[in-house]
Amino acid sequence: MIDAKVSKLLNEQVNKEFYSAYLYLHFANYFTEVGLAGFANWYTVQAMEERDHAMLFVKYMQHNGIPLQYEAIAKPEASLLSHRHVLLGGLQHEQFVTASINAIYESAYVVRDFRTMQFLDWFVKEQGEEETNAADLIKKLDLFGGDPKGLYMLDQELAGRVYGPPSLVL
């Protein structure tokens, strides 16, 4: 039996992961509109990953008898003022998600819910990678984005990102 607080937090995380997908599709649309198809591709792949993260939480909950309560997914309200602003918003959002997963982990730890902690281990590692990738993208934009040729090359690099489903096995 999963603790009520842990169950509530897991349900909330499903919504946060689906929101993340919406947010990244919003970012992808911005980059499509400004003609940076590689950046748009990077965020489209990111959105697919976030959708899959939500589904991993759903499957975990289903396999453990935790009732799912789907909530409305908020519309992304992020103001997209510049390329850097979008990337910074992505980093800040990943930090928010990391804090949310850490809060679930902490709640599971308090009630000695080792199964949920083990499930979350993959997400803890994944969030470290997500934050690093987002920060690295900002660094690259800062280094190369001011030069049209550099921005073009960075956009071409990001166009090469392909989707790969998560390797977490439930």
Q: 39 with 31: CB under 8 angstroms? A: yes
pLDDT at 1 over 90: no
Three-class HEC string of the chain: CCCHHHHHHHHHHHHHHHHHHHHHHHHHHHHHHCCCHHHHHHHHHHHHHHHHHHHHHHHHHHHCCCCCCCCCCCCCCCCCCCHHHHHHHHHHHHHHHHHHHHHHHHHHHHCCCHHHHHHHHHHHHHHHHHHHHHHHHHHHHHHHCCCHHHHHHHHHHHHCCCCCCCCCCC
The domain locations on the chain are 4-73+80-159
pLDDT of 76 reads 93
pLDDT, position 51: 97
Does the pLDDT of residue 152 top 90, yes or no?
yes
**Residue 22 pLDDT:** 96
pLDDT tens sequence across 33-77: 999 999 999 999 999 999 999 999 999 999 999 999 999 999 998
CA 26 → CA 31, 32, 44, distances in Å?
9, 10, 9
User: Any idea which architecture 4-73+80-159 has in CATH?
Assistant: Up-down Bundle (1.20)
Look at residue 165 in the predicted model and tell me its pLDDT: 79
pLDDT > 80? residue 168: no
pLDDT tens digits, one per residue of 89-148: 999 999 999 999 999 999 999 999 999 999 999 999 999 999 999 999 999 999 999 999
Give the pLDDT confidence score for residue 169 in this predicted structure: 59
Q: What is the pLDDT of residue 55?
A: 96
> What percent of the chain shows pLDDT beyond 70?
98
Whether the pLDDT of residue 170 is over 70: the answer is no
